Structure formats: C-alpha cells, structure tokens
Amino acid sequence: MTTPGPLGLSGDSLATCVQCGLCLPHCPTYRVTGDESRSPRGRISLMAAVELEGAPMDGEWLDAMSTCVQCLGCETACPSGVPFEELISTTRAVMSTESRPPLRMRLGLRLLGRPRLLRLGVRILAVLQRLGLVPRTGLFPARLPLGDNRRRSTPGGDVLLFTGCVMDACQPEIHDAVEDVLVAGGRSVERTGEAVGCCGALHGHAGLHGEAMRRAEVVMAALPGDRPILVDSAGCGAALKRYGGLLGTPAAAAFSERVFDVHEWLAANPELLPESSGPAGEPVVVQDPCHLRHAQGVHGAVREVVGPYATLVELDDEGLCCGAGGAFQMLEPELAGEVRERKLAAIRR
C-alpha cells in the first residue's frame, strides 16, 4: 500500500528492510565513505523518516539520495528481497519535481535525443583529445572517433542490434565487433540507428520518468514485430527490459521479452559460435557491469560465451560497482573516482 507521505512509497516495501546490514559490503558508496547515510540501509531509514515521520528533505537528505549509484548490488545481496530499485527510483522522481537537475545534466540529456549534434560534440572532443586538451578522467574513451565510421545497416536482418546514442557516437567499434560475431554465425543484422536513438536509461536514472516513458514509446514504435533485439550496452539493455514495468502495458511487456544482452542470446544459441580450436587462450579479466549482473540478472552467460576461447580471470571484489552509474561519474566525479579506484585495484591484483 502506498503511504500518504510526500514520496509516495510503498509502506510494505519500506517495511521489508529488517536493517540486517548484509547489503553494506555490496554498496560502493558505503565502502568508500563508511557513512551509514550512504548505504542502502541508511537511505531506506531516511526515506522512511520523510515518508512516515514527516522529517524534512533537507540538504543532507538530498545528498544521501543523489549519491546512490543505483548499481543494485544491494538488491542481489538482500535476503529479505527489499525492492531498493523501486524505492530509489520513486524517490528520485519526486526529487526531480522538487528541484531541476543540474544544468550540465539537462544539456547532456538533450544531446542524447539529437544524434547528429551528439556526434558533432564527440568529434570536437576527439580533436581536443588529440591536442592534449582533455584531461584523462575516465569519463570518455581514451580515443574518441574523429569521423563517422559507423557501418551501413542491413534492412530486414534476422536480428536487431540496438545501437543507442552514446555508444553509437563514442564506441561504434563495439557494435562492429558484435555484428562480426553474429554474421560469422550466419545471422544478418539490422542496426536500430538514429530513427530509434536513446533508450531513456539516463532519464530514468535522473528521476525524469516522464521523459523516460516518452523515449520508451518512441523506441517501441520504431521497432515493431517480433525479431530479437540484441544489446551490447548493459545500461541500455536494463532500461529496455524494464519498459514493461515502466509503461505498464501488455505491449511494453511483450517488447521487453524481445530484448536480450548479446552474451545472453549467444549463450542460448551456442551453435552460432565457432568451435574452440584448442587450449584456452590469453587471460581475460571479467568485469561484470552492474546493469548486467544485478539489473538484468545475467552473470554466467558472459563466461559461457568467452570461456572456450580465453583463460578467464575472476576479480576478487564480489562484483563491486566500477563507479560509472550512468551519469553518476559526471555528477559526483570525486566519489565516482574513489569507487573506480577500488575496481582498478582489484584488476591490478
């Protein structure tokens, strides 16, 4: 039942948290700060204080909510099944109505819906990179593309490859590599391209649910039919799979059923992959994106697909977040950097 408080949260969902603290080791912001208010347990307590006790949404409260990476590691670890994504998502939506997102966030989100302007911005950044004028912060790939090197799509392909917005502009080579694997397995590939564009993931992260719903409707209208939709970005895949819950319609639920992470789909269709030619190859460190491991629940598929061709090296950090978190690394660069350093330390080990 929804509470009568200002956040409109489910009282049952709030009560599900028994304050056991088993989520704490899996929360990246708690791990680097040691601050209870930067933990899932602490954030739920703060939500309940506002919702049930009339506590104010003051600056400290807002900081606690805005510094959540939304990695959902806590949901995976929680033995009580606390729906933390539901709680933080609803809370962020209320926050977005109380105060506008930062200007840089608003400008960035507007770019996502304008692919040509986005690519122009990427080219300008690429030139500045070559001139040594862009600091290496980890916010962008080390070498952005100077030109538009995207491949032409094949209309009517067996499968749809969701190209999105940022990935298509900044890392088109990843789409190329995925397409090469699929074509080698005998499948033709149609890229979704500019007509589809952004999936709305970052809008949802920012609490802008109205815009996220509008993006979902655009994407669904542009991709009718029943062909599988394969995704090579974990954040986009998680957003697309949640259209059913976001829009609450049978059509949206049916659309989400068509969405697969490319590893997930290949693991279910192993006959498309070449046979391993011998002993395992070069060592490959496996880093699970949070939106694949936690949001989508896809963990073993990556290992099933890559394992026959490489020596897999598992990290000893129990899948802790890398600190990217959609726009988190842009809005909270210092905290994101501390989280990222823990991940890099695990890789170096």
Task: Measure the CA–CA gap between 307 and 79, rounded to whole angstroms.
Answer: 30
| End residue of a domain, out of 98, 124, 142 | 98
119 domain residue, yes or no: no
Regarding whether 320 and 254 lie in a shared domain, the answer is: no
Q: Is 304 exposed, middle or buried (0-12, 13-18, 19+ CB in 10 A)?
A: middle
Q: Are the CB atoms for 228 and 265 separated by under 8 Å? A: yes
Q: What is the DSSP string of 215-280?
A: HHHHHHHHS-SS--EEES-HHHHHHHHTHHHHH-SHHHHHHHHTEEEHHHHHHH-GGGSPPP-SS-
Does residue 264 sit within a domain? Answer: yes
Q: How far apart are CA 243 and CA 240, in angstroms?
A: 6
Which segments of the chain have a pLDDT < 50?
none
Q: Which amino acid is at 329?
A: Q
Give one DSSP letter per residue of 59-76, joined into a string: HHHHHHHHT-----HHHH
CB-CB contact of 85 with 70 (8 Å): yes
Say if 121 falls within a structural domain: no
Beta bridge partners of 152: none
Q: Residue 44: which domain range?
A: 11-98
322 assigned to some structural domain: yes
Residue 235 lies in a domain: yes
- The whole-number pLDDT of residue 2 equals 63
pLDDT at 349: 78
Structural domains in the chain (count): 3
Give the pLDDT of residue 326. 81
Per-residue model confidence (pLDDT) at position 50:
96
Same domain, 28 and 55: yes
On the 0-12 / 13-18 / 19+ scale of CB atoms within 10 A, 336 is buried
Written as one letter, the residue type at 141 is P
Q: Give yes or no: residues 68 and 18 share one domain.
A: yes
β-pairing, 159-162 with 229-231? parallel
CATH number of the CATH domain containing 57: 1.10.1060.10
257 lies in the same domain as 312: no
Contact 314, 345 (CB under 8 A): no
343 in any annotated domain: yes
Residue 281 forms part of a structural domain: yes
For residues 77 and 164, membership in a common domain is answered with no
Do 296 and 256 fall into the same domain?
no
E strand or H helix that includes residue 283 = strand 283-286
Q: Which amino acid is at 56?
A: P
Q: How far apart are CA 220 and CA 214, in angstroms?
A: 10
For the chain, give percent helix, strand, coil, nearest 5.
55, 5, 40
Cα Rg, the chain, nearest whole Å = 21
Check whether residue 157 and residue 255 sit in a common domain: yes
